[in-house]
Structures are given as C-alpha cells and as structure tokens.
Structure 1
Amino acid sequence: MPIKEKLNNLSQQPGVYQMFDNNEQVIYIGKAKNLKKRVSSYFDKQHLDGKTRALVANIKNFEVIVTETETQALLLENELIKQYKPRYNILLKDAKSYPYIYITNDKHPRVSFYRGQKNKEYQFFGPYPSAHVVRDSLSLLKKIFKVRQCTNSVYRSRSRPCLEYQIGLCTAPCVGKISDENYEQDVAMMSLFLSGKGKETLDKVSDKMQQASIDLDFELAAHYRDQLIGLRTIQEQHTSQSMGDMDVVSIVEKDGVHAVEVMFVRSGKQIGQECIFPKHAKGKLSKEVLSAFLPLYYLGKDTPKQLLLSEKLIDKKLIASALNTKIIDTPQKDKRHFLKIATLTAEENLKQHLISRFTKRSQ
C-alpha cells in the first residue's frame, strides 16, 4: 500500500512507529501521542535538518503498534530501540536512559534511584517512566519497609541514629537498632514486591489491617490502609514486573476477514509482534479460527510458558497440552493491559489490510 494512503487511514491513538528501508530493516523508531499526526509530519513538510531529510529519503514503509497511553508508548519505544538499534535513532535522538530502583549488596543493603550503566551485582527494578515516579516510589517504600536510603559514606560515619530513624523512616541498621536478620527480612520483602510478586506483601499488610480493626485500634488500621494504598500505587507504576515469558494472542474480525496479532512478551517487556491474516476463515467464529491457528503457528516452535488469549476456546485443555503451555483467557490486572494493546494493534492492522485489499481490487 502506498505510504500516502496508509497515512490517511492511520490511527490517531498513542503508540510507537517503526520506519523501514528498502531492505525491510528498521531504521528509526519513535513514539507518538497521536500516531497519524506524528507519522504524517515526516512526509507533509520539508525538514531543515539534514539528518531528518536523510531519514525520510530512506523510508520505504512503516508499521505502528497502538498503545493505551503515552507512557506505555514511551517505555515500549525505549525497549524496541535497545532491541533493533536503528541507525537513525543514534543520529537523531539522545540515548535516553530510563530510571530504575536498585538494591545494593552491602551488609545492610541500600535502596535508591539509579540511571545509567547497571552494576551486575545489584538488583534493579524498572524501568520507570520518569525520575519523579521513582522518587515518589522511594518515598513510599521508605515509609513502608524502612530500608536505608543513605549513601555508604553517611552510613559508615554514624555513631548514633539519624533523623530518619527518629521520624520512623529507617530502622537504623548502622547502629544496631535492628537485628541483621530482621533487616534482611525487610529487604527481602521489599525486593519481592518490586519484582512484581507483591501479592504476598499485600496479603500480609491486609491481614494486619484487619487484625487492627478487630482489636478496635482504628488508628493503626488506618495506617495499614494507607500502606496498602501506597503499595498498590507502586505496583501500578512499576512497568517491568517479572512475569516470565508469554505471547499475547488477540484476534479481531471485520467483513469476514480475521487478523491475529501475536505480541511477544519476555521478562515482562514487549519485544516484538507479528500480525497474521488466516486464509479460508470467512464465516467462522473468531474462537474457531484461533483454535485452528494456534497449533499451526506454534507446533515445532519453542512455545512460551504462557499464552494469553482474547478468546475462550472450547478445546483449551487439548491445545494447552499439545503445546505444553498454560493458556490464560481471563487475565489478572497485571497482564490485562498487554491484551488490550494487542487487540488495538490487531484492529489497526486489519483496517490497513482491508483498505489495501480494496485499493488493489479497484485498480
């Protein structure tokens, strides 16, 4: 399909766009609040910058991935740039390093903000969409887990507890106000939560809140309630949870044509996608098409540990057994947004496919 025609029918939702050259190599990746407006800007005007002109001259095609929010587009752009290393991204954009939260491997580990080259000996959690989000999360973590955030030079120089201890934001391991074992447990619980396995942490805080209510200690119950709210806030902002490997498969249909979007998620990050238009599927229900598609697509391949589907299949158990994977058709909140992104992208790809087919028939 000609680029101009493709632009005319492009989605106006947020997302990521990928520019391809004659060899079908990704040469540039960008994000957009409005995909149609942003992608069109490359072709609708003369660019003064020589590097941008060179990029546009080499664009022979483009693809888009629709997202729900600009934040998702921002993070996905970063991951795709790391994966493909497009030559024009290096020339046109500063290599933006996204912020992380990290935990050191000291005797009494420290939790803090981090941006830059990672130290392999430390635990890293993220990336987060902005430094502001990281600082807010650290502030909440300090109130909940009370793990030290001071620098090692300050930590080593202490002979008595600092103000953080006095106001209840640190347990002062520097001067032995907490045992090494208990401090280690606090660090482990915080690490567990930041790893995306926070259900256990949330359950424990919830139990404490309920017990405080039973004891009629409503002030303490309110304190635990605030902790729960804080933990859930961090969980929603934390965009790189350790969810393992999975493929997200969404199917949409229009005018008798089906589009199956397969989105690849590895270690909680979206790393790529593929859209397939199954043949001879006219008149079939989407769940029937998907049941036939999955074995054809995955048998003989390394199937991920989980398949997240947009349809509930009648032969779900049979297919899961044949592919040696777990099929999820009712996702929890931490996976639901991946399915929504796959569905939005499938709808966009199907729209472009139908327009292209109509154009060819009209010629």
Structure 2
Amino acid sequence: MAVSSSSASAKALSCLHASLLAPETPQRTVVAASASLLRRASVRMRASAAAPAELKKTVWVWTENRQVMTAAVERGWSTFLFGSKDLGKDWSSTARINPLFIDGPNIFDGENQKVAVISQVSSPRELELVQPDSVEAVNVVIDFRGGWQVIPAENIVAAFQGCRGTVLAVSTNSNEAQVFLEALEQGLDGVVLKVDDMDDIIKLKDYFDRRNEAKSQLPLTKATISKVDVVGMGDRVCVDLCSIMRPGEGLLVCVGSYARGMFLVHSECLETNYIASRPFRVNAGPVHAYVTVPGGKTSYLSELRSGKEVIVVDQHGLWRTVVVGRVKIESRPLILVEAKDNSGDDTYSIFLQNAETVALVTHESGSSGRTAIPVTSLKVGDEVLVRKQGGARHTGIEIQEFIVEK
C-alpha cells in the first residue's frame, strides 16, 4: 500500500457546501449547520506518518455482525458506524469501541456532535456537488453508486487536496477499499468498510501490512567484498516490476535457502552508454536464490510470477511493496561474489550475471556519488550493503533450527 505522495503530507479537506442524503434516504437534502458546530464536529482521524510522503489511513467499520466487530478490534480498528443506538450501546458494553451513529445524511458521535456527512454519488452531476468549501470544515463519507468508482474517486482526491478534514468512501469489500486507498496514488483519506463477513476485515488488514503504510526501515549493514570469481553458465532471473525504481533502490537477494545475509541488488535504472535504462528491472540472480517478499518472508526467484509482490529497498533501508509485472529466465554467464560483515563473523555469498548492468548497492553517497558498484568492477575490499537475518528457512519463513549450508 503502498500509497505515497510528497504533497500528501499536508492533504486534507474542508466541508461540503451542499451534500446528498445517505443511501437510506431517497430524496436530496442540503446539509446546513453553523460554522461553530462544524468546527466542533470536525475530527482528525489521521496520524502522522513515520516517514515522508506517507499518510495514515482511516478505517471505520459499518456492520451488524459481532464477529466482524471482534475481528476489527483485534486488528486495531475501533470506530464503528451504527444505524441503531441500541446496538451501539450494546457493543460498547462488551468492547472498547468508538461508536458513531447514522441519522439521515449525518454521522454523530456518542455526545451527539456531528462528525461527518454522508454524500451519495451516482452521476457526474452529483459528483460536481461534492466540492470543498473554504469556510466550514467537516469530514465526508462518500457512497459511490452507479458502477463507476475509480474515476470519481480520483476526481475527489484531486478536488480536496490541500484542504482540512477527512474524506472516506464506503466500501462493500476489501477490493473496493483498495481501489479507494490507491486512487491517484495517494488515495482517499480512508474507507468505511460496510461488510458482514470477517474475511474482508482480515484481507484489508493484510493489505495494509503488505503495503507497509508506516514505511518502516529495514536495518542494513556494510559488508566487505572478500572474493569475486567468474564461474560457469546458469539460469538467471530478471524481475520486471510494475513500478519505477530510483537510484539506490533494488531487491534483497541471497543464495538459496542460506538467507542469513541478503545482498541489495541494484535496479537497472542507471544510464549507460551501451543500453537504455530500465528502471523497472532488477537482474536479480539465479533461479535458486531467495528474494525478500512482504510479511517477513522470502521466495525463490524461480517462484515469482506476474501479480506477486516483492519488497523494494533503498540505501537507507526504507522499503515499499511493489507488484511483479513479469519474470524473465535466461541462461547467462555467472559471477560468484562473497563478502564478510565488518565484525568478521559471517560470510555471505551471491551469484549474479556477469554483466556491467548488474550492480550491488554501496553505502557510499558522499564525494564519490556512487550508489552502486557493477559486479564487473567489484574488487576485494569494496563495501556493499547487506541485510543480516536468521539463516534457516522453511517455505520462505524464518525458523530456528540447526542448519549447515555450503
């Protein structure tokens, strides 16, 4: 998820000057309230991101299923929408939740303060009415009807950027939620998940975990090249992604199930004299090598397919989840690279294609300006970046067991 934009950190919205009724109400109503009430009602549901260009997304749950409520609370979502105050009070007595109550086109909190308005959008004309107002501020829940979702959601993201407040969209399943959270890359501020199946709660939480909304950092360490040997032919894997990579970014790859040390293999985003830049590609290594994927797991390069996800990491350890577009396996001459961590306790190794476009990420970024060293230029004593972790793996999951690999 993942969804990011440098301009999104200041993103919010102001209120609607006119709004449509909630789905339960057939006719149109203009929502009017005093500025002071709207200011009190406006609530900020978003938290600061842990890294630049990341926004915390809001999730409200709209359900009458107690199992859905339990699943949501267990995953950290405690704001629920109710059509009945009795149901909200009942659930509040059994779980620590933040109940909100729907009354026509409005949403109120437990103290009867208005926190949002609901607007139904089923036509271009109705979409035009959903516009920010520069005076009053309120949170908006939009129910997209009529079959169109992606383009209307993108229009809302564009219209409300740079304003104060929160815009959420009603989603009837986790797939719809993902559409709204990724519209125009940065997405809406959040979703109201209106479901009665706890699987949608689980899938949406898995989505957030995969997208790594908080943009956490992976610890990387320096390792010193100790051996560079040209070896024979092998089947190597080029991983073409559905995203563009920048200088300093690549995939974490290691030899086979010996996943104790993952090398940061650079993308082909750098310009060369002999071949065009391919910033979507990483010439990652042989078919038996491991690559880091979401969920703290690894996958054999040979197991990657179109539609699977991998982790892209930069020099500073910041990572994001990206989708694999295709995988290309070809026989090419290989080179064996070994490196020792600076403590001298561990030795790591990797096979890579012996070509100038294949490079390992270096820690250097100062006067030399180097972000990567081509494997054809590697020499003993060069320093590259690796990720240290546990050595034993079972089906890509790190396990604690006695293991010897050579």
Q: TM-score range by the shorter chain?
A: under 0.3
- Whichever structure has more strand as a proportion of its residues is 2
- Whichever structure has more helix as a proportion of its residues is 1
